Structure 1
């Protein structure tokens, strides 16, 4: 599964369930003996809510066991703490770095420079991808990032290229280049989550175009919350209300005359939705990427639902 990809960046229009898909992917990739890290960068604590656990701290914590017996760890990246790590790694500030935080300098820096915040968030995730244990093996077999929405994903991931151009020498330049090597390598894939609706599909197409223009590797399109078919065949809603009422009466339904009109109206609405979904599937097929569908969970997304989605992802072999 995952074709050698080790960094999976999951994005999507708001409301498409990208955090749910990212969490299910982390579970799916946690096959026997494998370790995955699920990274949150937006500070919403959505991962903690999905896994029904306490808010995640700025540390890597095991939160689940994958369907195949592997381990799922999670990390909520805090930009201020990431900047302190960065300062300690390259400049050995020690107590001086903590003093900067106490006087608000860290928060000031990350607030007035949004690009710096993105550098820190992506840099921390890429550090986890590159990290090795004492035995020389990768610390994590896969890192899954619950990334910002599709509308800003290309800029979010490409900010290191801008930083490398601004800082042409020194540790900042080398760090930015190292991160971009990971993000643009065959180890990385940016997956887009969408729904079978016009606006999410259009935003997905626009996001893919921007990612390709930036030289960032695009993975698969995940169509989330797909509703199951209600009928074995599409309805023919152009039927005659009187004829339908007569058929309902023969079947023994009381008040058949009052049911025929509403039933035909529902049939027309259902047929229109099927036509819209077929058109959106055709749009997605034209993007030249693998497209996988995940069902709408009628009972809602809970832990059992996450494991169900993870099983489906494993069967689809992302």
Structure 2
């Protein structure tokens, strides 16, 4: 279901592609599906992973299927059209393409590909049949959305070998990253074979679903999960891992996003959590720093005392949070999957931040 604009990219040379090999935890994986609880930064992690996979001269496609134009907003671009569009250049000359998959456009592509409807398909759109089909049959809708990604993974190109070498056929994209629906809906979304079972026993839709599931369950696919170090996202991650394994989908890594380092050394953290920090030392430190001032009415250092109380309370809260994060990190490690950590960036997420996060993922072996 490729759009016309998606076939106009220049081919990379075989030599350049061969020079890009690097160690990764996911050799052979070409479809990286990224899911996570809402609010965990799923799209940011998917974009950083796609950037990391494109580093060093590779070509990667970052696709979304929820109709939110999250990729465009993240890269500060106008809304993406329904065609593969180059959105960034990765470190080392790689290319990152973006695609916002639209179910209506995907259905028209599908009708043209399998039924050669052409203008008749456009007529169906005008009378509302396309909206009806993509709304009343969610299983078919998911086949269309995942089918577009499936086609991008499988699409190939011919690379000219020159005078002394033969032409070589190879995949258009070295990797495809899918910013998928949240963990609460991911199993149903990916299990397209089951979802269309009651709708299409035979025919092109059923065959398409079978082909998609073959790819999904193969060694070319990994379903990665994004979490933060909080109880609900961690539990939802664990539940999603169990559900994905139950239906035979290959679980990838766990990406722990927005990790904040402790502000205190271990001994001080433990003391802060137990309310054992020395108040007199805090007061002395405030005085030495010239913070606060004496009360004109009493001559007492009341502002120092109030500030010290606030700081001790903050330290206790911070210690409790670090302790909780340690526990939740242990829960994620117990899932037995590779775990990658990305820091919380005070400056927010822009293209520069994505480069930084991509570099962190590359260092950890995620790409």
TM-score between both structures, scaled by the size of structure 1: 0.95
Larger Rg: 2
Asked if the contact 1:164/1:177 (under 8 Å) is kept, the reply is no
Partner of 1:281: 329
Asked if the contact 2:188/2:195 (under 8 Å) is kept, the reply is no
Residues 1:53 and 2:86 aligned together: no
Q: 1:107-186 residue pairs with structure 2 within 5 A?
A: 107-135=131-159, 136-163=169-196, 166-186=199-219
CA distance in 2, matches of 1:209, 1:311: 30
Partner of 1:239: 276
Partner of 1:268: 316
CA distance in 2, matches of 1:83, 1:249: 66
Indicate which of 306, 313, 316 corresponds to 2:361: 313
Deviation for aligned residue 1:165: 6.5
Asked if the contact 1:56/1:74 (under 8 Å) is kept, the reply is yes
Indicate which of 344, 347, 351 corresponds to 1:296: 344
Indicate which of 181, 186, 189 corresponds to 2:222: 189
Sort the Cα spacing of 1:230 and 1:134 in 2 relative to 1 into closer, same or farther, 3 A.
Answer: same
Structure 1: gaps spanning 5 or more residues: none
Partner of 1:215: 248
CA distance in 2, matches of 1:246, 1:19: 44
Partner of 1:224: 257
Partner of 1:15: 39
After superposition, the C-alpha distances for 1:7-39 in whole angstroms (9 at most, x for unaligned) are 000000001001001111111111333111000
Indicate which of 8, 18, 30 corresponds to 2:54: 30
Q: 1:193-204 residue pairs with structure 2 within 5 A?
A: 193-204=226-237
CA distance in 1, matches of 2:53, 2:257: 18
CA distance in 1, matches of 2:229, 2:38: 14
After superposition, the C-alpha distances for 1:188-223 in whole angstroms (9 at most, x for unaligned) are 000000000001101100111110101000100000
CA distance in 2, matches of 1:143, 1:249: 53
CA distance in 1, matches of 2:283, 2:68: 55
Deviation for aligned residue 1:239: 2.7
CA distance in 2, matches of 1:252, 1:223: 36
CA distance in 2, matches of 1:11, 1:22: 9
Structure 2: gaps spanning 5 or more residues: 1-23, 160-168, 293-300
CA distance in 1, matches of 2:283, 2:97: 61
Deviant stretches of 4+, over 6 Å: none
